[in-house]
């Protein structure tokens, strides 16, 4: 197994530790785990592309690991009353639509590539989660950091709708397969 795939697996293994740290109120530990796991996302892709180590495992598991990490945090934020449930439902609806389209296309031998807007959406989600976690670690600047986190999270919601719409329109031929 190559290094990028090991980093992807490490990111998935980190999720239960992140969840446990959060649920037990160890927000600094949860923040560190989330940041380290998020950074592995950057490096596994960079290494895979630069060293020609792109694998089918990585193509499937890398985005899945990202989603498990980020959406675990968002679920915890619903329970903590940081975000509303409808926000996560909107995000998940986009993901299910895109995954469904990719599945139909794959059954016909077509690969649907991810767009830049989807990557921007993911980065905005990760940054907002990091800022929400950072705010939970603070006492003095907590309201300011929480406000910035909310603005970035709302931007991620806008990008969720935009990237989902763009993906459907760009790949609408899937619906006629």
Tens digits of per-residue pLDDT, 138-149? 988 899 999 999
* 124 against 114, higher pLDDT: 124
Could you tell me the domains of the chain? Answer: 3-176 (1.20.120.1760)
* 8 closest CA partner among 71, 63, 74: 63
* 164 closest CA partner among 116, 102, 112, 118: 118
Res 1: pLDDT: 87
Q: For residue 65, what are the CA distances in angstroms to 10, 17, 51, 145?
A: 9, 14, 21, 26
Res 77: pLDDT: 98
| Confidence grade of residue 163 (pLDDT, cut at 50, 70, 90) | very high
What is the secondary structure of 88-149 as a DSSP string?
Answer: HHHHHHHHHHHHHHHHHHHHTT--PPPPHHHHHHHHHHHHHHHHHHHHHH-SSSHHHHHHHH
Res 19: pLDDT: 98
Neighbours of 4 (CB within 10 A): 25
Res 5: pLDDT: 92
In this structure, of 1-10, 27-36, 53-62, the range with the lowest mean pLDDT score is: 53-62
| Confidence grade of residue 174 (pLDDT, cut at 50, 70, 90) | confident
Res 96: pLDDT: 95
Region 11-26 average pLDDT: 97
User: If you compute the radius of gyration of the chain from its CA atoms, what whole number of angstroms results?
Assistant: 17
Q: What share of the chain is helix, strand, coil (3-state, %, to 5)?
A: 85, 0, 15
d(CA 22, CA 68): 15
Res 173: pLDDT: 86
Res 154: pLDDT: 98
71, HSE (Cβ side, Cα atoms, 13 Å): 16
C-beta contacts of 98-103 below 8 A and 24+ residues apart: 98/164, 98/167, 101/167, 101/168, 101/171, 101/174
Contact (CB, 8 A) for 10 and 54: no
Is it the case that residue 168 has pLDDT exceeding 70?
A: yes
Res 177: pLDDT: 64
Return mean pLDDT, the chain.
93
Tens digits of per-residue pLDDT, 42-86? 888 889 889 998 888 888 888 899 999 999 999 999 999 999 999
């Amino acid at each position: 197994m190559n290094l990028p795939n090991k980093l992807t697996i490490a990111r998935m293994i980190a999720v239960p530790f992140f969840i446990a740290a959060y649920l037990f109120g160890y927000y600094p530990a949860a923040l560190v785990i989330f940041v380290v796991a998020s950074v592995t996302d950057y490096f596994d892709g960079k290494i895979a592309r630069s060293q020609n180590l792109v694998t089918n495992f990585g193509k499937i598991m890398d985005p899945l690991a990202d989603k498990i990490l980020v959406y675990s945090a968002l679920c915890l934020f619903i329970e903590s009353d940081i975000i509303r449930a409808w926000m996560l439902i909107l995000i998940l609806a986009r993901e299910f639509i895109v995954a469904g389209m990719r599945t139909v296309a794959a059954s016909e031998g077509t690969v649907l590539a991810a767009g830049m807007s989807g990557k921007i959406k993911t980065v905005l989600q990760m940054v907002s989660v990091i800022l929400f976690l950072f705010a939970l670690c603070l006492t003095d600047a907590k309201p300011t950091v929480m406000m910035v986190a909310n603005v970035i999270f709302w931007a991620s919601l806008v990008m969720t709708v935009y990237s989902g719409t763009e993906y459907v329109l760009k790949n609408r031929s899937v619906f006629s397969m």
